[in-house]
């Protein structure tokens, strides 16, 4: 028996923390698998049932973190965490800026300025930076080193040495209070940006859950909560209402908007005996439905579960800085200790020995390291926003580096996402425009998407009377006193062979076809389709030029899907799939070693977007798709997708260069500091140079050029 338990983990500050918790849980008896997501602060544990929730939470706490039993306020806890980071950032800025200004600009100095800097910098280093010191102590207990260790070690060394110099009364002694304040401020800024970028990941599941109906109207007119529905109960769905739960139609006929599941704009005609899905929208007729699945068994609940599992199952991204710091920090500590010992052994003065050792620690302070990721992310995401590309945090950038396959949703992504009239054919004796105007006038009274498309194509102010909607068939009414019918074949008694051929040709091309006639005789055929966006083919060509394998997947029929694939130059086309199938298709490619990006806009795309290595949502689509994605392109231009991938790769490359030089400057200067050639002041200057390089290199991202320009 496999039991799944979700645990909220508080107190993690980096990917190394998540790895530590994962190891603690995974090594426990009875645990089959444990995955810890740093971004969502959640651990997902699969076990055999011999270990209970309390035991699992105890393991988390033994690892040095907290695991609250009550997770009903997860959203509020997340908000409090972000608010806490914001307060720490404000304190660091307000108290730290004066310290930096007076330390770096001699004209601003006043009598006793060093004492004021001592107090203000202590507020920043040990107030705003307390979380880093706590994490460093946890790291020490577990014999590990991360970026938190670097931050704590560097800021403490700079502050303590400066305090010693000040308290010793050395008038010309150099102090480095600004060093600790700058480091803490930059790192807290990075944590705040990261927290804001990842906060919305959980909104995808909550947004999905909100789609369902809250009440159901039983056949006797009684309204009850949806949670009270049981299998076998019958309920009524009126036009415009959401279907309360999955079931089968026992009475009535209608068109149901199934876009939540299929992503397609054309409502599905439903009659007695057909299955319906909860949370889909009844378009026109009244239905009586018998519930067949309720609660966690419904299609909506399954979609929620798919998104939830895909997001929770994604491994936390290990920061490049943490990986390097795991080796760099122990080496720095050893070198600083060795420097102190060598100077003492050689008979040097204690002040000179401590100065050299502190210089080693200061030169290793991650000042530029604190800037390396957040500044590049800020500049890169800012440039992306100018180009209509929204990037959700630094971890997303790493997901783009090896993407080699792109799966495109069809409707709303490659196509416009709404029906348009693409052709009209009339009998030899009939004027096609005249019939279109009659159809447009009649359909102006309809709320059906097909009718709306016809009304847009042929707007008319003619008088319409006796309007009658026949669910699943079409509409009938009088236009300027003459009877007009618009709809499917059964609505007409006589249909000329030439129109039958026109309908067959339209349907073969993947179009929706309807008849128009005066009275019971059909006189014209109108073909409608979801048209391909004019930029989609160019976008596909650009992605293929980047070496990406592009495929198309849709819930629409095979003929339509194949037609769209040919139009945009994609050979690999999969049609007639449901949301779970899309996620499975992504997983299948991942099992084959592919790094998969999914581009979609609908609710039905959310599981695939969450499952993908890189989820890209079209911003004109559903909020759920945007929430479940890693990248969002604002607007409907698919060419923003290659822009997004290229910009993400460029930003990641910039971060890598920043991280390299953030360490390289310091590593090169450590021998000089250890030998006494480089004073602590010069060490601080070297840090400044490395920071200047990081800033300059990051600002180069502002010159990124879009393929659309």
How far is the C-alpha of 580 from the C-alpha of 374, rounded, in Å? 36
119, HSE (Cβ side, Cα atoms, 13 Å): 4
631-633/614-618 β-pairing? parallel
b/e map of 420-441 (b: 16 or more CB within 10 Å)? ebbbbbbbeebebeebbbbbbb
Widest CA span of the chain, in angstroms?
Answer: 113
1, two tokens: 């028996």
DSSP result, 379-440: HHHHHHHHTTEEE--HHHHHHTTT--EEEEEIIIIIEEEEEEEEEEEE-TTS-HHHHHHHHH
What is the CA 116 to chain-centroid distance, rounded? 44
Give the whole-angstrom CA distance, residue 705 versus residue 646: 10
Structural tokens at position 544 = 């293929």
Of the candidates 132, 114, 236, the residue with the CA atom closest to the CA atom of residue 178? 114
DSSP per residue, 545-557: HTT-EEEEE-SS-
- Strands of 31-37's sheet in order across: 3-8, 42-47, 31-37
Task: Name the residue among 192, 127, 126, 116 with its Cα closest to residue 156.
Answer: 126
Can you read off the two tokens belonging to residue 337? Answer: 């200790």
Closest CA to 674 of 388, 267, 343, 200: 343
Looking up tokens 């304040």, which residue turns up?
A: 181
CA distance 638 to 410: 11
Question: Residue for token digits 């309908």?
Answer: 503
Long-range contacts of 432-438 (CB under 8 A, 24+ apart): 432/524, 433/458, 435/516, 435/523, 435/524, 436/516, 436/524, 436/526, 437/462, 438/462, 438/479, 438/482, 438/484, 438/516, 438/518
- List the structure tokens of 182: 């700058």
Q: How far apart are CA 309 and CA 240, in angstroms?
A: 32
Q: Is residue 333 a contact partner of residue 157, using CB atoms and an 8 Å limit?
A: no
Phi, psi of 240 (to 5 degrees): 85, -5
CA–CA distance, 107 with 607 (Å, rounded to integer): 60
Confirm if 162 and 177 have CB atoms less than 8 A apart: yes
> Catalytic one among 284, 409, 630, 643?
409
* Beta strand residue intervals within 258-325, DSSP E: 268-270, 275-276, 281-282, 287-293
Residues with Cβ within 8 Å of 20's Cβ and at least 6 positions away in sequence, in order, are: 63, 64, 142, 144
CA distance 372 to 687: 13
Is residue 556 flagged as an active site residue? no
Phi, psi (5° rounding) for residue 448? -70, 140
Q: Would you say 271 and 287 are in contact if contact means Cβ atoms under 8 Å apart?
A: no
Identify the H or E element spanning 685.
Answer: helix 680-699
Which tokens go with 152?
């704590």
* Three-state DSSP state, 237: strand
Residues with catalytic function:
409
């Amino acid at each position: 028996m496999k039991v799944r338990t979700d645990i909220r983990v508080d107190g993690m500050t980096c990917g190394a923390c998540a790895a530590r918790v994962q190891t603690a849980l995974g090594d426990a008896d009875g645990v089959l698998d444990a995955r810890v997501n740093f971004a969502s602060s959640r651990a997902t544990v699969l076990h055999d049932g011999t270990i209970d929730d309390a035991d699992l939470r105890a393991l988390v706490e033994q690892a040095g973190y907290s695991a609250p039993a009550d997770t009903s306020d997860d959203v509020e806890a997340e908000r409090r965490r972000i608010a806490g980071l914001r307060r720490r950032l404000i304190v660091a800025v307000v108290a730290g800026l004066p310290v930096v200004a007076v330390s770096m600009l001699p004209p601003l100095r006043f009598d006793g300025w060093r004492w004021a800097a001592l107090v203000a910098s202590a507020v920043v280093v040990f107030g705003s930076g307390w979380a880093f010191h706590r994490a460093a102590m946890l790291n020490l207990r577990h014999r590990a080193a991360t970026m938190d260790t670097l931050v704590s070690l560097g800021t403490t060394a700079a502050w303590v040495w400066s305090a010693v110099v000040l308290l010793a009364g050395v008038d010309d002694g150099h102090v480095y209070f600004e060093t600790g304040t700058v480091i803490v401020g930059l790192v807290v800024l990075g944590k705040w940006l990261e927290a804001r970028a990842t906060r919305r990941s959980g909104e995808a599941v909550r947004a999905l859950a909100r789609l369902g109906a809250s009440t159901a109207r039983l056949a006797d007119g009684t309204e009850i909560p949806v949670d009270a529905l049981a299998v076998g109960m019958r309920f009524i769905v009126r036009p415009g209402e959401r279907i309360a739960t999955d079931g089968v139609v026992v009475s009535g006929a209608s068109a149901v908007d199934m876009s939540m599941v299929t992503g397609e704009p054309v409502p599905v005609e439903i009659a007695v005996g057909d299955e319906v899905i909860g949370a889909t929208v009844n378009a026109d007729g009244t239905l009586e439905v018998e519930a067949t699945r309720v609660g966690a068994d419904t299609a909506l609940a399954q979609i929620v579960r798919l998104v939830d599992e895909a997001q929770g199952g994604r491994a936390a991204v290990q920061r490049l800085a943490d990986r390097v710091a795991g080796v760099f920090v122990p080496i720095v500590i050893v070198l600083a200790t060795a420097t102190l010992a060598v100077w003492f052994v050689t008979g040097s003065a204690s002040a000179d020995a401590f100065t050299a050792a502190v210089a080693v620690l200061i030169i290793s302070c991650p000042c530029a390291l604190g800037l390396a990721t957040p500044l590049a992310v800020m500049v890169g995401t800012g440039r992306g926003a100018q180009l209509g590309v929204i990037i959700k945090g630094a971890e997303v950038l790493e997901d783009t580096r090896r993407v080699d396959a792109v799966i495109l949703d069809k409707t709303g992504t490659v196509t416009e996402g709404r029906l348009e009239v693409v052709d009209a054919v009339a009998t030899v004796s009939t004027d096609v425009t005249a019939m279109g105007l009659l159809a447009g006038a009649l359909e102006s009274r309809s709320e059906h998407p097909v009718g709306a498309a016809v009304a847009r194509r042929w707007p008319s102010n003619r008088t319409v009377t006796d309007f009658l909607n026949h669910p699943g068939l079409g509409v009938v009414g009088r236009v300027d006193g003459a009877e007009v019918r618009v709809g499917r074949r059964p609505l007409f008694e006589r249909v000329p062979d030439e129109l039958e051929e026109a309908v067959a040709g339209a349907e073969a091309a993947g179009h929706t076809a309807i008849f128009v006639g005066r009275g019971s005789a059909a006189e014209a055929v109108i073909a409608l389709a979801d048209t391909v966006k004019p930029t989609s083919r160019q976008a596909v060509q650009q992605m293929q030029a980047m070496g990406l394998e592009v495929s198309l997947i849709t819930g629409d029929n095979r003929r339509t899907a194949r037609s769209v694939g040919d139009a945009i130059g994609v050979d690999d086309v999969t049609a007639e799939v449901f949301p779970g199938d899309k996620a499975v298709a992504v997983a299948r490619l991942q099992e084959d070693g592919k790094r998969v990006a999914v581009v979609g806009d609908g609710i039905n795309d959310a599981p695939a977007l969450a499952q993908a290595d890189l989820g890209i949502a079209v911003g004109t689509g559903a909020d759920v798709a945007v929430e479940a994605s890693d990248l969002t392109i604002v607007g409907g231009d698919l060419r923003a997708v290659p822009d997004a991938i290229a910009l993400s790769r460029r930003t990641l490359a910039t971060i890598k260069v920043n991280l390299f030089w953030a360490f390289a400057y310091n590593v090169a200067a450590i021998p000089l500091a250890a030998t006494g050639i480089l004073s602590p002041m010069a060490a601080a200057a070297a840090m400044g140079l490395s920071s200047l390089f990081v800033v300059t290199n990051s600002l180069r991202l502002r010159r990124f050029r879009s393929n659309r320009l």
